[in-house]
Amino acid sequence: MIKRMISSLMALALVALPLLAAGDKKETERLENCGEVIKEVMDIPDDIPQDLIDKAECLIVFPSVLKAAFVIGGSYGRGAMTCRTGEHFTGPWSAPTMMALEGGSIGLQLGGQATDFVLLVMNPRGARAILSSKVKLGADASAAAGPKGRTANASTDVTMRAEVLSYSRARGLFAGLSLEGSTVRPDHDANERIYGKKVEAESIVFKGTVAVPPAAQKMIAYLNQKSPKNTSDPESLK
């Protein structure tokens, strides 16, 4: 009986290990893709205004979201979120927490191609809300299509009031796109696969006790080089 149980456990382990490895590889590729999207977008001054990136507390990337997923329902986009560390979001960029994008009514706007989404989280309240639970953009957190271009007026009422500014890129075309009605939440299962243990999104970002995984090191190093200082109005950090 004991031998049979041991044999069964070994068989389960042999099945589970390749599945875990496949999951780890998928999350690793996802982080690498997030880094590529960030670099490509931030290297073009006519996309996201640099002053908005410098004022953002956090940045969320969802690479290669497909329209089909929005049409048939279910899980839509998977990506990562990194924030400036420290109590007032003034430190270096943090290790990333994996994130999920779901729902919304943007399917008809996407077309048939894969679309990258970049979200700037512009104040501490929005950042803490997204890291702690599922947040519906436009309801739980105010959201707006982000202005683009070097001469974009980043001080408009909409931009200044929004907690999240959203952008999309498809077939090389970059634009501000409202994601109101979509939900954003931490992907706890993906975090466990990346970090090898259960860890809350807030702990990854705020406590600074989690090392940046190898797949995200280039992305975080690039952000620290490109936007090393938070230039938000000090009043917004209170």
Contacts of 177 (CB under 8 A, 6+ apart): 106, 109, 117, 145, 166, 167, 168
Domain count, the chain: 1
Q: What are phi and psi of 88, to 5 degrees?
A: -110, 20
Q: Domain range for residue 222? A: 5-237
- Encode the chain (238 residues) as per-residue pLDDT tens digits: 555 544 544 443 343 333 334 447 889 999 999 999 999 888 876 778 888 999 999 999 999 876 544 444 444 789 999 999 988 899 999 999 999 998 755 544 445 567 888 999 999 999 999 999 999 988 888 888 888 766 555 555 556 688 999 888 876 676 767 777 889 999 999 999 999 999 999 999 987 778 999 999 999 999 999 999 999 855 444 4
The token duo for 91 is: 């430190």
So what's the pLDDT on residue 233?
58
pTM: 0.81
